[in-house]
Amino acid sequence: MKKSFVVFGLIALLPLFSSAQRKKSTDKNSIVMVVGKPLSRRDSVVMNQLFYQALREKTMENGAAAATLFAQVLEIDPANDAGMYELARIRTSEKKDADARVLLEKAITVNPDNEWYWSALAANYEKINDIPKLENVFKELIRLNPEKPDYYIDQARALTLQKKYDEALAVYDQLEDRIGKNEETVFNRQKIYLKQGKLDLAVKDLQALIVENPQEMRSYLQLSELYNSNNQNDKALKTLESAQKSVTDNPLIHLALADVYRDQKNYAACFNQLKTAFAYPALK
């Protein structure tokens, strides 16, 4: 019974129209345009039978047999995007990522509005570290599912790796417009500001995060580390003192204080903070 549900779920991927009726994308992400052909009634029947047989073989974990059947589907209908996707998944499981990539790149030209296809292509590009293509894939995924925060974060990271800092910051802004300010976006944006030499903006962002959630210890630690690494020890100390007033006492605060005192060459105070920190059961 369990396998039946899998089969019915996969059957939903099977297109209902002939390849002549399918959409073809001219988007810049498209690598290969797939041109379909009109299917006769007999071809449609045979193709559907082969597709269902392939799904059954796949659910029974007969990957080789399923791959052969999906390949036959594509011989009849070269623009069958569901067949491309399913065959790509099999090729991926066989560690034939280059073959899978070709199939997925074709599938998105036939049906550019399928989130599963783009997600599978993103995973493929990640394996070869193709950052420019990943950037575009995540842009498409945001278009298809703008409520998923991970897509924004992944696109921003891809932009950051290409040193497109302003574009990455704009993506983080889009995400915050949807979900509000949060630690991950602020911390990631802070790294970009530092690469740009904009210490004041990095500080301002962390301060705003602390104001919004004054009981979150990590924000204080990040801000104090930012000050301390930029030779602003006094501000680092004040930040940690504020943390002690606002956050439940924590050994990490004492360890951070020890770092600041060490950099100030105040070794007695550093030792006292270390002694206090390691008195906590969590650090014993």
Residue 252 is predicted with a pLDDT of 94
Please report, for the domain that includes residue 165, its CATH number: 1.25.40.10
Output the six-digit token pair for 78: 């070269």
| Range in 25-29, 97-101, 257-261 with the lowest mean pLDDT | 25-29
- Contacts within 8 Å (CB) and 24+ apart, 68-75: 73/47
Angle CA 155–157–159, to nearest 5: 70
Digit-coded pLDDT (tens) for 14-71: 443 334 334 444 444 445 555 556 777 876 788 788 889 888 998 898 889 999 999 9
The domain tally of the chain equals: 2
Residue that finishes a domain, picked among 84, 102, 122: 122
CA 172, CA 122: separation in Å to the nearest integer? 19
Residue 20 DSSP one-character state: G
In angstroms, the CA 257 to CA 16 distance is 65
The whole-number pLDDT of residue 34 equals 57
Which range of residues forms the domain containing residue 27?
1-122
Alpha carbon 109 to chain centroid, angstroms? 22
pTM of the model: 0.79
Mean pLDDT rounded to a whole number for the chain: 87
164 and 102 together in one domain = no
Instruction: Report the distance separating Cα 152 and Cα 145, nearest Å.
Output: 10
Let me know if residue 232 belongs to a domain. no
**Which residues neighbour 2 within 8 Å (Cβ) at sequence distance 6 or greater?**
none
Residue written as token pair 């104090």: 224
- Residue 100's alpha-carbon distances to 5, 10, 83, 221, 230, in angstroms, are 25, 18, 12, 44, 47
Percent of the chain with pLDDT over 90: 73
Same domain, 84 and 105: yes
Q: Contact at 8 Å (CB) between 146 and 178? A: yes
**Mind listing the pLDDT tens digit for each residue in 126-141?**
999 999 999 999 999 9
In sequence order, what are the residues at sequence separation of 6 or more whose Cβ sits closer than 8 angstroms to the Cβ of residue 105? 30, 31, 32, 121
Give pLDDT, residue 38: 74
- Tell which of 161, 185, 213 closes a domain: 213
> Domain check: are 159 and 91 in the same one?
no
The pLDDT, as a whole number, for residue 5 is 37
Are residues 109 and 59 both part of a single domain?
yes
In a domain, 231, yes or no: no
Q: Are 247 and 253 in contact (CB under 8 A)?
A: yes
Lowest mean pLDDT among 20-29, 161-170, 207-216, 267-276: 20-29
User: If you average pLDDT over residues 204-230, what whole number do you get?
Assistant: 94
Kindly state whether residues 2 and 99 are assigned to the same domain.
Answer: yes
Q: Is residue 229 part of a domain?
A: no
Tell me whether residue 202 is in a domain: yes
Residue 71 in tokens: 């390949």
Is the pLDDT assigned to residue 282 strictly greater than 90? no
Same domain for 140 and 76: no
Q: What pLDDT does 158 receive?
A: 98
